[in-house]
Amino acid sequence: MQHWLGRAIPERENSRNGYRTRPWDTRVGTIELSVPKHHKGSFFPSVLERRRRIDQALYAVVMEAYVHGVSTSKVDDLVGALGVDAGISKSEVSRICAQLDEEMIEFRSRSLSHLGFPYLLCDATYVKARVARRVVSRAVVVATGVGKDASREVLGISIGDSGDAAFWTEFLQSLRARGLSGVQLVISDSHLGLKAAIAKVFPGASWQRCRVHYVDNPIMWSWRRSALNLDPP
């Protein structure tokens, strides 16, 4: 503060003017800080961020809770349990987690031309998601590439209403548009829509059924027959 005001210079033109309090929410509770004021201009310590009263560690806690499906209202209870008396509003949670959307957009749009991926693994799962105030089933598809150096990298993730051929085709075409090349073998389950999309987008690549899905299918069928007390065919 003295250096900023120019105390070492006899003819300095500024001076202190008391302090103002500012709450700072951390994982160990809310801390009341005394920020110096001066007569001319404004001063703000570099350790803090403007218009932000939560430290980065607590930011990470809020984001982690949001990713694991904790509702914005319950995040307030979590923050209160950590010792932050003022709590946190739903709008503040949404604003904090908006940074995750920016990082995800950057991840999903990055270039894939830095390395050739001769092997491509495709898979999908279904999760419950809230859409227009309704909880519906959504398809989450993932493509993982194996490079020439045997390294693995998640190439893309997408969410849709269903994992049909049109959705898979659009997803795989987006990977090619981002620079994916050199695909020689695609490994996936035997979903007809996915196989059709693979043949359309990667016409020169071979296809192989995933061994994990191949083993799981008869196991699940056997378990279902046993649960229904059906005789084997």
Domain containing 142 — which CATH number?
3.30.420
Whether residue 66 lies inside any domain: the answer is yes
| Residue finishing a domain among 83, 106, 129 | 106
Whether residue 41 lies inside any domain: the answer is no
Whether residue 89 lies inside any domain: the answer is yes
Asked if residue 198 lies in contact with residue 207, where contact means CB atoms within 8 angstroms, the answer is yes
Q: One-letter amino acid identity for 87?
A: G
Whether residue 94 lies inside any domain: the answer is yes
Whole-number pLDDT of residue 87: 67
Whether residue 9 lies inside any domain: the answer is no
Asked if residue 48 lies in contact with residue 24, where contact means CB atoms within 8 angstroms, the answer is yes
- 70 and 146 belong to one structural domain: no
DSSP assignment string, 37-62: EESSS----TTSBTTB-B-HHHHHHH
Whole-number pLDDT of residue 80: 72
- 81 and 28 belong to one structural domain: yes
- 131 and 61 belong to one structural domain: no
Whole-number pLDDT of residue 4: 47
CB-count exposure of residue 128 (10 Å: 0-12, 13-18, 19+): exposed
Whole-number pLDDT of residue 158: 93
User: Closest Cα partner for 52 from 92, 82, 12, 87?
Assistant: 92
Whole-number pLDDT of residue 40: 62
- 218 and 123 belong to one structural domain: yes
Helices and strands (H, E) in the chain, number of each type: 7, 7
Which three-class secondary structure state does DSSP give residue 233? coil
Q: One-letter amino acid identity for 17?
A: N
Whole-number pLDDT of residue 148: 86
- 145 and 205 belong to one structural domain: yes
DSSP 117: -
Whole-number pLDDT of residue 95: 78
Q: One-letter amino acid identity for 52?
A: R
Whether residue 6 lies inside any domain: the answer is no
Whole-number pLDDT of residue 43: 58
Whether residue 164 lies inside any domain: the answer is yes
Range of the domain at 188: 119-222
Whole-number pLDDT of residue 51: 45
pTM, whole model, 2 decimals?
0.64
Extended strands (E) in 176-228: 185-188, 206-209
- 76 and 154 belong to one structural domain: no
| Residue finishing a domain among 106, 137, 158 | 106
Residues of the chain short of pLDDT 70, as ranges, are: 1-18, 20, 22-33, 35-57, 82-87, 213-233
- 68 and 128 belong to one structural domain: no
Whether residue 3 lies inside any domain: the answer is no
- 166 and 134 belong to one structural domain: yes
Whole-number pLDDT of residue 195: 93
- 101 and 187 belong to one structural domain: no
| Residue finishing a domain among 57, 78, 106 | 106
Whole-number pLDDT of residue 183: 95
Whole-number pLDDT of residue 89: 75
- 101 and 124 belong to one structural domain: no
- 212 and 127 belong to one structural domain: yes
Total number of domains constituting the chain: 2
d(CA 60, CA 63): 5
- 28 and 77 belong to one structural domain: yes
Whole-number pLDDT of residue 23: 66
